[in-house]
Structure 1
Amino acid sequence: MPNQRIGAILDGLGVELDLTDGCIVTSAVVFCKVVKEDGTVTLGYAQSEGMCWIEGVGLITAGSDIARRGYAEDDDD
């Protein structure tokens, strides 16, 4: 299967991100449940063009923590 741009797919699934004015998204990782034509289910993964593996692992690790525990902004940054 050839690579596909997934912006429209994410839009169709209703994926949204709460951003305030002035925020800029600089990189992203995406995990997707994919059901193949034969009915098998797999996990799809994609990351922003130009990201190094260290940034990808960092986003995945932080994202996992947020998904499990929630997110609260830290004023100590």
Structure 2
Amino acid sequence: MSDQPIGPILDGLGTLIDLDDGDLIASALVIAKVVDANGKVALSIATSDGLSWIDQNGLLTSAQQVFDRAGIGRPGDEE
């Protein structure tokens, strides 16, 4: 296993983020489903430099709260 830049990988997956002019991403937490050559599935977490475990937990918890409120992925929900 080796560290790889995640930007090109996310680009290849078609990952986009909605930003307004002047918005600045201050830190990032990326959660990914990884499938190895044998088909084994694992969870991988990548963070931006300097992101402490406390900040990681805060981003993860906040994201979960947004998902819960938005009802993302619930059958019957329409955008």
TM-score, length-scaled by structure 1: 0.86
Equivalent residue pairs, number = 70
Q: Which runs of 4+ in 1 moved over 4 A?
A: none
Structure 1 unmatched ranges of 5 or more: 71-77
The sequence identity of aligned pairs, in percent, is 46
Using the TM superposition, give the Cα deviation of residue 67 of structure 1 relative to its aligned residue in structure 2, in angstroms: 1.6
The one-letter amino acid of 1:45's match is I
The 5 A counterparts of 1:5-16 are 5-16=5-16
2:4 maps to what in 1? 4
Matched, 1:60 2:44: no
The one-letter amino acid of 2:20's match is T
CA displacement, residues 33-77 of structure 1 (integer Å, 9 cap, x when unaligned): 10001111111111111111111110000011112212xxxxxxx
TM-score, length-scaled by structure 2: 0.84
